[in-house]
Amino acid sequence: MDVQIFGVKSDADTRKALRFFKERRIKVHFVDFKVRAPSRGELVRFFQKLGADAVVDRSSKRFRALGLHTAHYGDERWMEIAGEEPTILRMPLVRCGKELTVGHAEERWRGWA
């Protein structure tokens, strides 16, 4: 079983997710948003399954810095913006097979371990 984690190393919840899987000796593939933006296909998966409201972090500093707190867009436009500015996403985005979660969801990950 491979787990894929998307986020930035400086985010506390991303570090918690990495530690959670490391402690259970589960192989993790980490994608750092500061090094490489998520692919469109990955974004589509998360947006279709969870919706923009769950994936976009409207309380993030970058979200406010870009002036998006007043914007009212559809899922497609949020996906475009997230592709260009992945730090507006709620982190970490975690995928294990077809299972997807956003944010620190340790109780849900326990079923994967």
**Domain residue spans in the chain?**
3-107
For the chain, state the CA radius of gyration. Answer: 14
Q: What pLDDT score was predicted for residue 28? A: 94
- Residue 32's CB is within 10 A of a number of other CB atoms, namely 14
3 state DSSP class of 94? strand
3 state DSSP class of 106? helix
**CB of 96 within 8 A of CB of 112?**
yes
Q: Which of 52, 46, 90, 88 is nearest to 72 (CA)?
A: 52
Measured in whole angstroms, how far is the alpha carbon of residue 87 from the centre of its chain?
9
pLDDT in tens, 43-82: 999 999 999 889 999 888 888 888 888 888 888 898 999 9
- Rounded mean pLDDT of the chain? 89
| Mean pLDDT confidence for 77-94 | 92
Domain 3-107 belongs in CATH node 3.40.30.10 = yes
Q: Which residue has the tokens 């299972």?
A: 99
Residue 27 has pLDDT above 70, yes or no: yes
Q: What pLDDT score was predicted for residue 113? A: 66
